[in-house]
Amino acid sequence: MTTTELVEKTIHFVKKTLKGAEGGHDWFHIERVFNNTLLIAKEERVNILVVSLAALLHDIADPKFHKGDESIGPRMAKDFLNSIQIDAETCKNVVLIIENMSFKNSLEETSKSFTSKELQVVQDADRLDAIGAIGIARAFNYGGFKNRSLYDPEISPNLDMSKEEYKNSSAPTINHFYEKLLLLKDKMNTATGRKIAEERHQYMLGYLEQFYGEWKGER
Ligand code: ADP
Ligand code: NI
């Protein structure tokens, strides 16, 4: 199969598998990450098939909905890649990216065990979807799903929570900006990713300023 055919088959599989997925990790998230990946990859020397397949398959199974089992996603990706007879080297590289790329891992340097230029590109593409206008929408969507308040001036951001505490926290969604979203621009791997992140970061700062102004009834 040609690269195009492999990518098309993967798109079909991912769309089908993610039917009914929640808003933060639906097909459109995958499509945006795939597009960001291609944009960044234009400026980097990477294997296009590897980054394309990894972007498409990176959220194929969210551990949050599989009793926290982090091995399901990589396993589903591997089974699918074998079913379309991808060569062993490509398969291995794609699966390693998926295993090592989650948002949580990306914020905890210690859990980083594998890296590659391809992983860096797809990880940047995924991080870009957590910031800017889309990132803001996803954060409030997630907060709503968890029944969290928008903002509470008496509850300050807490940067020292463990992964478990963070998950169970009932902190308002605005805190997530300080605890995660505004930290992402300094974690970008590639120059292109960094540049786009910088623009989206500024957009979020402007948004927060407007938010606090409106909160106080200033304008
Ligand atoms: P990943 O993108 O690696 O799957 P998550 O599942 O943690 O990461 O996050 C998915 C989306 O939900 C992201 O846009 C993220 O910013 C948002 N999100 C995660 N945790 C929170 C939270 N506590 N409050 C608001 N938004 C959150
Ligand atoms: Ni993702």
Q: Is residue 104's pLDDT more than 80?
A: no
> Does residue 117 fall inside a structural domain?
no
Percent of the chain with pLDDT over 90: 79
Please tell me whether residues 6 and 75 are part of one structural domain. yes
> Does residue 116 fall inside a structural domain?
no
> Does residue 13 fall inside a structural domain?
yes
Q: E-strand spans in 51-186? A: none
Please tell me whether residues 163 and 203 are part of one structural domain. yes
Q: What is the pLDDT of residue 107?
A: 53
**What CA–CA distance (Å, rounded) separates 175 from 184?**
14
- To test the pocket of ligand 1, the residue of 138, 147, 162 to mutate (highest count of ligand atoms within 8 Å of its CB) is 138
Please tell me whether residues 94 and 7 are part of one structural domain. yes
Please tell me whether residues 7 and 93 are part of one structural domain. yes
* Angle at the Cα of 85 from the Cα atoms of 83 and 91, rounded to 5 degrees: 95
For residue 16, the domain's CATH number is 1.10.472.50
User: Which residue, by CA, sits nearest to atom 14 of ligand 1?
Assistant: 130
Please tell me whether residues 84 and 148 are part of one structural domain. no
Please tell me whether residues 94 and 4 are part of one structural domain. yes
User: Which residue, by CA, sits nearest to atom 26 of ligand 1?
Assistant: 139
- Packing angle of the helix pair 48-57, 117-128 (nearest 10 deg): 40
Q: Is residue 177's pLDDT more than 70?
A: yes
**What CA–CA distance (Å, rounded) separates 29 from 23?**
8
Mind listing the pLDDT tens digit for each residue in 107-121? 555 455 788 999 999
Candidates 88, 89, 102, 22; CA nearest to 57 is 102
Sign of CA dihedral 59, 40, 142, 109: positive
Average pLDDT value for residue range 206-213: 98
Average pLDDT value for residue range 93-108: 76
> Does residue 138 fall inside a structural domain?
yes
pLDDT-based confidence at 95, cuts 50/70/90? Answer: very high
Average pLDDT value for residue range 25-42: 96
Q: What is the pLDDT of residue 155?
A: 95
**Residue 63, helix vs strand vs coil:** helix
Distance 97 CA to ligand 2 centre (A): 12
Asked if 32 and 129 touch (Cβ cutoff 8 Å), the reply is yes
Domain residue limits at 204: 130-219
> Does residue 185 fall inside a structural domain?
yes
Mind listing the pLDDT tens digit for each residue in 179-189? 999 999 999 99
Mean pLDDT, the chain, as a whole number?
Answer: 92
Looking at per-residue pLDDT, the higher value among 197 and 162 belongs to 197
Distance 139 CA to ligand 1 centre (A): 6
User: Ligand 2 is a single-atom ion; what residues have CB below 5 A from it?
Assistant: 59, 126
- To test the pocket of ligand 1, the residue of 180, 204, 207 to mutate (highest count of ligand atoms within 8 Å of its CB) is 180
> Does residue 110 fall inside a structural domain?
no
Q: Is residue 35's pLDDT more than 60?
A: yes
Return phi, psi of residue 95, to 5°.
Answer: -65, -40
> Does residue 179 fall inside a structural domain?
yes
| Tokens representing residue 122 in the block | 């797809």
Candidates 90, 58, 100, 103; CA nearest to 76 is 58
| Residues flanking ligand 1, CB < 6 Å | 24-25, 59, 102-103, 130, 135, 138-139, 142-143, 173, 176, 180
Average pLDDT value for residue range 29-44: 97
Distance 195 CA to ligand 1 centre (A): 22
**What CA–CA distance (Å, rounded) separates 215 from 194?**
31
Count of Cβ atoms closer than 10 Å to residue 2 Cβ: 8
